[in-house]
Amino acid sequence: MKKERIIAIIKTAMRISFIHALLISIGTFTTYAHTVEAQGALKKTVSITKKRVSLKDFLENLEVQSQVKFVYSPSILKSHRMVEISSMENNLERVLEEVLAPIDIHYKVENEKILLIQNRQEIQVGGKVVDAVTNEPLPGVSVLVRNTNNGILTNEQGQFTLTAKANDVLVISYIGYTGQEVRVNSGKQVYNISLKPTTSDLEEVVVTGYSSQRKKDLTGAIAVVDVNQLKSQPAASAVEALQGKAPGVQIITDGAPGSTPQIRIRGYSTINNNEPLYVIDGVPYEGKLSWLNQNDIESMQVLKDASAASIYGARANNGVVIVTTKKGVQGKPAISLDAYYGTQSPRSGSFPKMMNPTDYARNLYDSYIRANAVPGSTFTNMYGSGDNLVLPEYLLAGDKIGLQVTPADADPGLYNYTRDGGTFYQITKANQAGTDWFKEIMGNAPTQSYQLSANGGSEDATYAISAGYLGQDGIIKYTGFDRFNFRSNTQVSAFNNRFRFGENAQYSYTENYGLGSNVNTPGEYQDEGSALGFAYRIPTIIPVYDIMGNFAGTKGGALGNAQNPMSQLYRAKDNKNRSNFFFGNIFGEVDIIEGLTARTSFGLRYENYNGMTIGYPNLEFAEGSNANSLSEWQGYTTEWTWTNTLNYKVNINEDHNLTLLAGTEAVRNRNRQLNGGRNDFFILGNLDYYYLNAGTANITNASTGTVGSLFSIFGRADYSYKDRYLLSATVRRDGSSNFGTENQYGTFPAGSVAWRLSEEDFMKSAEWLTDLKFRVGYGITGNQRIPSFQYLDRLQSSLITSTYAIGGAGTTTGVRQNAFSNAEVKWEELKSLNVGVDFTVLNGKFDGSFDWYNRKTSDMLYPVPLPSIAVGGGASPYVNVGDMQNKGIELTLGYHYGKEDDRPFKFDVNLNVSRNVNEVVRLAPGVTQQIYGAFRSLETTILKAGEPFGSFFGYKVDGIYQSDAEVEAGPSYTGARVGGLKYADVSGDGVIDPADRTIIGSPHPDFIYSLGLNLFYKDFDVAMFFNGSQGNDLYEATRYFTDFTTFDGALSTRLMDAWSPTNTGSDIPSLYRGASDFEYASSSYYIQNGSFFRMKNLQIGYNLPADKVFGKGLGVRKMRIYVGATNLFTITNYTGLDPEVSQANSTYPVLGVDRGIYPIGRQFMVGVNVGF
């Protein structure tokens, strides 16, 4: 006899005697009836009169009828009081079986009695979960009774207790560890479990649309972001840190403090809004994310294809980013503090180089001579006449300029810096050495972040709270961002964990200050009207300050009409934009029957924002005014989302897993904003004085608002067979107030299947293969994000557009039609096919995935501009006419060394590469192209069928005209000249005219890539992260100012190498006063290669042996200190400030056009994480 056998027998014996003992012990409470022969009694016919009866009555009744004594524990009666009876008359045996079996009671005839035994006794089990490698307790491990909602998380010491029945299976799972299943043995109460860390994270449970799945069961294209990696990169916005972490997700950041970068998931799906939908703790959110604290994020998933995202229906075209914030973990409070301090500095090597004043004057003079023009008196007053140019000592003294200024004029006694234009007398010395304006307006800027969090809880309630502060100054002076945030997530369970409710809530206060303080509107801090735009335009001969320390400027002559960018920045230092932002939800969940859970969640977004802008007189500016102004605004946005779901999970025969979900969702939003402004304040610069009442002129006020609502029903089914074949189907029907009755509703179905090859028997032999899964998904999503009420003709009664002084004086307000309708306007639809494969080999040493997709947007909403004869100056409606396509591939590869056997030296390498090919397939009938992106007289961009969205458009430079003969011979244009740009005759008609404009570049990269390296050696860790973009073009629109004589201003040093009769090889046109507008028209001269490779992040950390350093008494659990650097280096040939150029807004998004962008700084920082 084998040893196991003996033990089994002993065990059985023990169990029997245990039951006996139990029976004896409960015998005290048993009821005795008449003694009869029990076996015979079982054949006796009994009849029951009620269909539903209490167990106690039932048993008593049977005792009377059968004359047999029942022996049972009173607890049986308690737990199953009522029983259902199906057969009214039968023999006792059958009746007992029928009634008792469903309630898990079996009977036994013994000693002429019938013993009733609760089949599976509920027992209290508990234990401890530890890391199999380190033997350290693991807190927060999920211990769940399979196929029930009965579960718990381990506490701080890794311990758990719960009630289970014999033969139940406990499922123990924890992110980063291989899950275990343990069968509950009725005789065993303590289960100590050691979990092996997984080398792959396939067991990780991720949140998808309205439910959650194991990562390995995913059938759609979902990028699961490694949140730890995310955290190693300091960023004001969680989105920024996402850069390069998920394949197929392109993030373009700019350096403005607090700005939310631009995120594009699998390219541009529409010519309209391309921002993804965020789902934060189950509540959909559209908008910027600067309010969200990165440290609060527990997990982040990007749903990329329609099969994953279409459960979010009409808002899912641009992909969905699911964010789950940190939840409480049972146990004593765990407190942690994260803090860092750093300094950002501008990458001064990338500053555009401008000519010094001497070169500038010479080049400007030559540009007149070249054009046979005479420099005007303003020029000669500044630099002298004839070929003998000099630099003036003074730029301005009163109304004298340059060389006109006599020592008497420059007498400081005359100086009068006033806001009265009549007596304003400024004296400004020339900066003959030249001012480097970029250097002046940028400087080092500190960043600091302090985050404190705590979590813990008991069996029935858990909490996680956090609070923090982030302060980020901009590298452009006098700009910055502050954020205070507070979060509280709690969950409470009741009725034996069958009812759960809780809340996730965040409040944050953010404040932007300085020029363009409204970072959600890029135009204000970038582009030509910003300090950056003017830094390209202001002549270098102008000093920052005049002789008395007030701002110098372009007043006078020959200095163009740029503003002094420093004056703009300084004067805007008190401009503020503040936001009180609340976002959260309350939810309740109840388990109705086993596996069936109803959930309701009410989410609320409430933002109350306000801000002010102060304007100062700027008489030093050529087009200055003495106005000083204050404008203020106040507004709020509310949006509530009420979601109700029913979720049913069932497991049949262990092999079939089915999850069904049905739900409804209602969303309503409203925004309202009040603006006011005034001019003429008695004193300037005093913040205590700046109230609207104190202004006396230009009294304005306005208010605007929007409303919208959505109502949806949706369903979802996930099925898996033996973990081998996975199937998922979703459908959503959305109704939106954005559309008229004709097309109010849209339906968005999707389905996906996956085959886990590695689970097949024939693959089991391949030991090296840990996991291999093929996926195919197809689905339809929608986009409803267009301006509201396109289905209605709308009229406007306004002072600006429809008012007339019909009575001669005063005004009478009338009405005009400002918007024209399209009653049939409906959803954009995106059909997407995704084929992918996920693999993990060598027990997790290598892993990766590959996806191919084809996304086709149809019925694309396109505001086909109608001719003026139809709509005048009114807005043309959106029509569903366009098609757009994105095809692409994504590849992720990972290599993990030393993790599975816990070597002291470990490292991970992760590589992401993705390629997306965009094509505008169709615009509108009869509309083959649409030129847009106006920037001064340029129109940079075109929408054209067959070309990528946002393609650059203009003339193709074909060299420089070398001789009059060449100009004469053509092809040429009006005003063509020797030394000027020569264009290709694309239309072939012998002349250069607008018909020769063509596609001259694409803002879309051939591919984007990123590389992450994480190294660990004992207590040290190093994280490195690189990202890049290859093959995209950028449109350096600032050349409009710096390379031509369109405006008097700064000239790029590029022109030092311009074409001349002695430098005929140059491809830079010579400077020519009064050049034809063809010369500075949109052309390939502006197009530059935008490829770059950037070391985005480097962080080196050290885990202090906390016990040794602080001793056990202090309670310091963990301490890590680190140093880091971001944007350490950038490799690019791009000549502008920064190769990351976020889109500008025009009729449609303008991609990759650099009109003066806020560059990203280089940051060095030190930080600490402490756990208590």
∠ CA 712-717-719, rounded to 5°? 165
Q: Is there binding between residue 819 and other proteins (CB under 8 A)?
A: yes
Q: Which of residues 971-1010 bind other proteins (CB under 8 A)?
A: 974-975, 993-994
Q: Using the rule CB under 8 A, which residue among 937, 1064, 1133, 1145 binds other proteins?
A: 937
Distances (CA, A) of 214 to 181, 284, 523, 718, 720: 15, 22, 43, 12, 12
Q: Which of the stretches 1011-1019, 1043-1051, 1103-1111, 1141-1149 binds other proteins when contact is defined by CB under 8 A?
A: 1043-1051
Q: Which of the stretches 171-179, 581-589, 931-939, 1085-1093 binds other proteins when contact is defined by CB under 8 A?
A: 931-939
User: CB of residue 426 vs other proteins: minimum separation in angstroms?
Assistant: 12
User: How many residues does the structure list for the chain?
Assistant: 1172
Q: Which is nearer to other proteins, 730 or 784 (CB)?
A: 784
**Rounded-to-integer distance, Cα 218 and Cα 721, Å:** 14
Q: Which of residues 594-623 bind other proteins (CB under 8 A)?
A: 598, 623
**Rounded-to-integer distance, Cα 976 and Cα 824, Å:** 49
Q: Which of residues 553-582 bind other proteins (CB under 8 A)?
A: 557, 560-561
CB-hemisphere CA count at 13 Å for 89?
1
Residue with tokens 């969200």: 292
Q: Which of residues 272-311 bind other proteins (CB under 8 A)?
A: none
Tokens for 445, please give them: 């800027």
Q: Which of the stretches 202-210, 499-507, 509-517, 592-600 binds other proteins when contact is defined by CB under 8 A?
A: 592-600
Q: In terms of C-beta density within 10 A (0-12 exposed, 13-18 middle, 19 or more buried), how is residue 485 classed?
A: buried
∠ CA 176-305-924, rounded to 5°? 160
Q: Which is nearer to other proteins, 381 or 577 (CB)?
A: 381
Q: Give the H/E segment covering residue 366.
A: helix 357-370
User: CB of residue 151 vs other proteins: minimum separation in angstroms?
Assistant: 22
Q: Using the rule CB under 8 A, which residue among 469, 1047, 1110, 1172 binds other proteins?
A: 1047
Q: Using the rule CB under 8 A, which residue among 8, 13, 699, 763 binds other proteins?
A: 699
Q: Which is nearer to other proteins, 260 or 736 (CB)?
A: 736
Distances (CA, A) of 563 to 92, 560, 935: 101, 9, 18
Q: Using the rule CB under 8 A, which residue among 194, 803, 1030, 1147 binds other proteins?
A: 803
274 residue type, one letter: N
Helix %, strand %, coil % of the chain (to 5): 15, 45, 40
Q: Is there binding between residue 414 and other proteins (CB under 8 A)?
A: no
Q: Is there binding between residue 404 and other proteins (CB under 8 A)?
A: yes
Residue 86 has phi, psi (to 5 degrees) of: -100, -45
**Beta bridge partner(s), residue 1036:** 1154
**Rounded-to-integer distance, Cα 182 and Cα 190, Å:** 11
Q: Which is nearer to other proteins, 261 or 557 (CB)?
A: 557
1147 residue type, one letter: T
Q: Which of residues 212-241 bind other proteins (CB under 8 A)?
A: none
517: left (phi over 0), alpha (psi -120 to 50) or beta: alpha
Q: Is there binding between residue 1054 and other proteins (CB under 8 A)?
A: no
Q: Is there binding between residue 498 and other proteins (CB under 8 A)?
A: no
Q: Is there binding between residue 1131 and other proteins (CB under 8 A)?
A: no
User: CB of residue 859 vs other proteins: minimum separation in angstroms?
Assistant: 19
Q: Is there binding between residue 211 and other proteins (CB under 8 A)?
A: no
Q: Which is nearer to other proteins, 749 or 814 (CB)?
A: 814
Q: Does residue 248 contact residue 224 with C-beta atoms inside 8 Å?
A: no
Q: Is there binding between residue 147 and other proteins (CB under 8 A)?
A: no
Q: Using the rule CB under 8 A, which residue among 67, 644, 854, 1089 binds other proteins?
A: 644
Q: Which of the stretches 144-152, 229-237, 280-288, 707-715 binds other proteins when contact is defined by CB under 8 A?
A: 707-715
Q: In terms of C-beta density within 10 A (0-12 exposed, 13-18 middle, 19 or more buried), how is residue 1022 classed?
A: middle
Q: Using the rule CB under 8 A, which residue among 446, 529, 814, 898 binds other proteins?
A: 814
Q: Is there binding between residue 419 and other proteins (CB under 8 A)?
A: no
Q: Which is nearer to other proteins, 382 or 889 (CB)?
A: 382
> How many other C-beta atoms are found inside a 10 Å radius of the C-beta of residue 504?
26
- Total number of residues binding other proteins (CB under 8 A)? 112
Q: Is there binding between residue 1045 and other proteins (CB under 8 A)?
A: yes
**Rounded-to-integer distance, Cα 170 and Cα 795, Å:** 66
Is omega for the bond preceding 971 within 30 degrees of 0, making it cis? yes
Q: Is there binding between residue 874 and other proteins (CB under 8 A)?
A: yes
Q: Is there binding between residue 789 and other proteins (CB under 8 A)?
A: yes
Q: Is there binding between residue 757 and other proteins (CB under 8 A)?
A: no
Q: Which is nearer to other proteins, 574 or 993 (CB)?
A: 993
Q: Using the rule CB under 8 A, which residue among 492, 823, 871, 1100 binds other proteins?
A: 871
**Rounded-to-integer distance, Cα 230 and Cα 50, Å:** 64
Q: Is there binding between residue 680 and other proteins (CB under 8 A)?
A: yes
User: CB of residue 642 vs other proteins: minimum separation in angstroms?
Assistant: 8
Q: Using the rule CB under 8 A, which residue among 17, 813, 963, 1133 binds other proteins?
A: 813
Q: Using the rule CB under 8 A, which residue among 918, 1046, 1097, 1163 binds other proteins?
A: 1046
Q: Which of the stretches 11-19, 104-112, 366-374, 1124-1132 binds other proteins when contact is defined by CB under 8 A?
A: 366-374
DSSP string, 429-449: E--TT---HHHHHB--EEEEE
Q: Does residue 283 contact residue 601 with C-beta atoms inside 8 Å?
A: yes
Q: Does residue 157 contact residue 140 with C-beta atoms inside 8 Å?
A: no
User: CB of residue 709 vs other proteins: minimum separation in angstroms?
Assistant: 6
User: CB of residue 381 vs other proteins: minimum separation in angstroms?
Assistant: 8
User: CB of residue 737 vs other proteins: minimum separation in angstroms?
Assistant: 4
- Of the candidates 980, 973, 1010, the one whose C-alpha atom is nearest the C-alpha of residue 995 is 973
Q: Is there binding between residue 788 and other proteins (CB under 8 A)?
A: yes
User: CB of residue 662 vs other proteins: minimum separation in angstroms?
Assistant: 9
Q: Which of residues 829-848 bind other proteins (CB under 8 A)?
A: none
Distances (CA, A) of 1053 to 353, 957, 1058: 6, 20, 9
Please state whether beta strands 277-280 and 879-897 pair in parallel, antiparallel, or not at all (unpaired): unpaired
**Rounded-to-integer distance, Cα 773 and Cα 836, Å:** 8
Q: Which of residues 732-751 bind other proteins (CB under 8 A)?
A: 735-737, 744
Q: Which of the stretches 64-72, 376-384, 389-397, 453-461 binds other proteins when contact is defined by CB under 8 A?
A: 376-384
Q: Is there binding between residue 540 and other proteins (CB under 8 A)?
A: no
Q: Is there binding between residue 693 and other proteins (CB under 8 A)?
A: no
User: CB of residue 638 vs other proteins: minimum separation in angstroms?
Assistant: 14
- Of the candidates 351, 383, 347, the one whose C-alpha atom is nearest the C-alpha of residue 1052 is 351
Q: Using the rule CB under 8 A, which residue among 494, 683, 766, 799 binds other proteins?
A: 799
> How many other C-beta atoms are found inside a 10 Å radius of the C-beta of residue 708?
17
DSSP-derived 3-state class of residue 219: coil
314 residue type, one letter: A
DSSP string, 878-924: PEEEEEEEEEEEEEEEEEEESTTTT-SEEEEEEEEEEEEEEEEEE-B
Q: Is there binding between residue 408 and other proteins (CB under 8 A)?
A: no
Q: Is there binding between residue 407 and other proteins (CB under 8 A)?
A: no
Q: Which of the stretches 140-148, 490-498, 664-672, 840-848 binds other proteins when contact is defined by CB under 8 A?
A: 664-672
Please state whether beta strands 113-118 and 69-71 pair in parallel, antiparallel, or not at all (unpaired): parallel
**Beta bridge partner(s), residue 758:** none
Q: Does residue 714 contact residue 644 with C-beta atoms inside 8 Å?
A: no
User: CB of residue 797 vs other proteins: minimum separation in angstroms?
Assistant: 7
Q: Which of residues 10-49 bind other proteins (CB under 8 A)?
A: none
User: CB of residue 968 vs other proteins: minimum separation in angstroms?
Assistant: 16
